[in-house]
Amino acid sequence: MYAQPTHPASDDVDSEIAAADALARQVETMLANGSLDGTAAQFAQPRGADLLRRTAAVEAWHDARSNDGLWQYARSLEGAPYPIASIRDEAGTAARGINFASQDYLSLASHPQVADAAARALREAGPHSAGSAVLLGNTRYSLALEQAIAGLVATEHVALFPTGWGAAFGAITALVQAQDHIVIDQFAHASLRQGANAATSNISINRHLDVAHVRQLLGAIRARDTEHGIMVVTEGLFSMDSDTPDLAALQALCHEYGATLLVDVAHDLGAMGPGGGGCIASQGMLGKIDLVMGAFSKSFGSNGGFVATASRSVKRHLQLFAGPHMFSNALSPVQAATIGECIQIIRSEEGDTLRADLMRNVEGLRSLLAAEGLTCMGIASPIVPVLIGGEKASRLVGKLLFEQSVFVNQVEFPGVPIGASRLRLQLMSNHNMQQIKRAAPVIGQTVARARAALAAAEARRRDHGANTAD
């Protein structure tokens, strides 16, 4: 019998071509099913008299995506948010792999000292705050936490909130009245934008990080209105772009135009900057920002949020008029003790070590992804956004990475503008270089495979359309 001589390299090439072809065919089916099409924007404002039935369209869109494994939301963890984690997608498919999709930048959620503090508080005070912060919801843990936050951001008065979202929304809606003005960065977090929209219709949106544009907007407002207040809203580290504004310049502009600066430090406080003081500390602005607002959910092992101010009367006003402070139950003793313990670690030498480990991982991942030809947006921070662009390619990459046990958040509208989809990778101190070296080429190759498959499938559909038209 004649045996066909084979060369291993040509076998490899053949199987690569076959795999690429199979993927392109799969994508062609997805395109035919419509599961790569559309954005959530189409379903945001449904019309019709029946409030409940008119949600059916978004469910049909979800089903088409989900049937093709392209629904990236509502996945769940089986255990703790470790760098290696077991997760399930919404359809119940399980996978274990490298986790860049959790927010626990300093890995404090699994720190034994933090677990002990939480357990102690649970034993001593129970699991429940049993009231809002103004109606006996405060505990000795939450009072100690106010002091600890005040120390961390070098600002005297602190109001706590049950979530970071509530802190953002509550601060803006309490302090800004309908006649006042807001100047807000175009990429500010939804909690800030929704707070702004609820507070006033006098909203000016500044181009991302563009201080000159903020000056122009403030000048225009003050030229017609010297009577009312202006709040300028930005973030210390932008959550989808990993970049930071010039805080000194913005604060100076606010002084010049009689405006108030609010900086949301949800992503940088604790994880970045000297002593964990975030971008405010890196920029030498500790204690100099009008309002510092933050979330505990990224680096402090717990839900929760805060607003810090130099003014006692501002705190008093927030207590009475920030809805999520006044009318929502306070942080539980366990949450407050957890966050307090995290702050102790963050401000210690161990905190410096954890931040150094985190930055080693960040820089390692960014340089390996760049070597793969990928664009990492922004500055080195725990957030590594990899720009993909179109939703179709981004969804496909998200699905393929999940199948290869590399977990990232695939972000599209409403998280980011349409056409600016991206992978958002979030790093932790406890990741190691072995995991990062293993994941980076998988991500690089997957982006290339997805783009090629999409181009091939679209070309085939065009050819097919042209043939049938003939």
Ligand X SMILES: Cc1ncc(COP(=O)(O)O)c(C=O)c1O
Where do contacts with ligand X occur on this chain (CB under 6 A)? Answer: 163-165, 168, 189, 191, 235, 239, 264, 266-267, 295, 297, 303, 305
| Between 295 and 318, CB nearer to ligand X | 295
Instruction: Tell the smallest beta-carbon distance from residue 303 to ligand X (Å).
Output: 6
Using alpha carbons, select from 105, 81, 84, 106 the residue that is nearest to residue 95.
84
CB-wise, 214 or 266, nearer to ligand X?
266
- Closest to ligand X by CB, 259 or 262: 262
Distance, in Å, from the CA atom of 181 to the CA atom of 159, rounded to the nearest integer, reads 23
Q: Residue 146: how many CB atoms within 10 A of its CB?
A: 20
Is the distance from CB of 244 to CB of 284 less than 8 angstroms? no
Residue carrying the six token digits 């395109």: 31
- Minimal CA–CA distance to 199: which of 225, 158, 231, 161? 231
- 102 versus 163: smaller Cβ distance to ligand X: 163
Q: Which is nearer to ligand X, 267 or 366 (CB)?
A: 267
Question: Which letter does DSSP use for residue 274 in this model?
Answer: G
Q: Which of 354, 311, 330, 322 is nearest to 150 (CA)?
A: 311
At position 469, the amino acid (one-letter code) is A
Q: Which is nearer to ligand X, 68 or 264 (CB)?
A: 264
Contacts of 111 (CB under 8 A, 6+ apart): 301, 341, 342, 345
Between CA 440 and CA 449, with CA 445 as vertex, the angle to 5 degrees is 150
Sheet with 406-407, edge to edge strand ranges:
76-77, 84-88, 94-99, 406-407
- The answer to whether the Cα torsion of 99, 103, 107, 110 is positive or negative is negative
Whether the CB-CB separation of 230 and 261 falls below 8 Å is answered with: no
Q: How far is the CB of 166 from ligand X (least distance, A)?
A: 7
For the bound state, the minimum distance from the C-beta of residue 437 to ligand X, rounded and expressed in Å, comes to 28
Least distance to ligand X, CB of residue 304, Å: 7
Rounded to a whole number of angstroms, the minimum distance from the CB of residue 234 to ligand X is 10
Q: How far is the CB of 191 from ligand X (least distance, A)?
A: 5
- Closest residue to ligand X in the complex (CB): 164
- Closer Cβ to ligand X, 35 or 302, answer by number: 302
Tokens of 292: 């510092």
Q: Which is nearer to ligand X, 163 or 309 (CB)?
A: 163
Please state the closest distance from residue 267 (CB atom) to ligand X, in A.
6
Tokens of 173: 């809606």
- Of 163 and 202, the one with the shorter C-beta distance to ligand X is 163
Minimum distance of ligand X from residue 253's CB (angstroms) = 21
Contacts of residue 386, Cβ cutoff 8 Å, sequence gap at least 6: 369, 374, 375, 376, 377, 422, 423, 424, 425, 443, 447
Which residue, 107 or 163, has its beta carbon nearer to ligand X?
Answer: 163
- The phi, psi pair for 214, rounded to 5°, reads -60, -45
Shortest gap between Cβ of 236 and ligand X (angstroms)?
Answer: 9
Considering the complex, state which of residue 192 and residue 388 has its C-beta at the smaller distance from ligand X: 192
CB of 179 to ligand X, least distance (A): 26
CB atoms within 10 A of CB 177: 12
CA dihedral 257, 199, 189, 152 (to 10 degrees): 70
Amino acid identity, position 388:
I
25 φ, ψ (degrees, to nearest 5):
-65, -40
The token pair at 199 is 């507070």
Count CB-CB contacts under 10 A for residue 373. Answer: 9
Name the minimum Å distance from CB 152 to ligand X: 16
Nearer to ligand X, 409 or 435 (CB): 409
- The minimum distance between CB 116 and ligand X, in angstroms, equals 23
Backbone angles phi, psi at 82, to 5 degrees: -80, 165
Cross-strand bridge partners of residue 381: none
